Amino acid sequence: MKKVILFAACLFTLSTAVNAQETARKPKTEKAVKENLTPEQRAQKNVDNLNAVAGLSDEQKTKVKDLATTRITKADAIKAKYKGQAENKETMQNEIAAVRKEYRQSVKAILTPEQIEKVKARKKEGKGAENAIDAND
């Protein structure tokens, strides 16, 4: 009986160790996956999200993708500029917020009033059109 209990304890310990090694290899968060995307891929993701909400035309998709790529590139440059400078975190956030506001206003200029209303409605639902436009701008 002691051998059976000892064998079960060893088996449990071994299986726990194997599972711990497998989970260590997986990305811990979605952010880790996001970091591997190029600015163009991230911009395309923004366009896809906005298209799902507002139903963009092909011309609008192209314009929004260009704007999103520019916004992402500027934001990445700002992040790189202040990397490792904890004392400048607020300054960095303010600069990125200005870039986002400029992007939202540019996107609003491209969308039709009906599309803007769809985005606002989606935002009120809490699902939001991520980084698309603000109802307050």
43 touches 72 (CB < 8 A): yes
pLDDT in tens for each of the 137 residues of the chain?
Answer: 878 787 677 666 767 766 666 555 555 555 555 568 888 899 899 888 888 888 888 898 899 999 999 999 999 999 888 888 888 888 899 999 999 999 999 999 988 898 888 888 888 887 655 455 544 44
| 133 in any annotated domain | no
Residue type, 55: G
In terms of domains, do 66 and 42 share one?
yes
| 84 in any annotated domain | yes
| 131 in any annotated domain | no
Question: What residues make up the domain containing 119?
Answer: 37-125
For residues 112 and 57, give the distance between their C-alpha atoms in angstroms, rounded to a whole number. 11
Domain count of the fold of the chain: 2
In terms of domains, do 8 and 61 share one?
no
Q: Which residue's entry shows tokens 């009986």?
A: 1
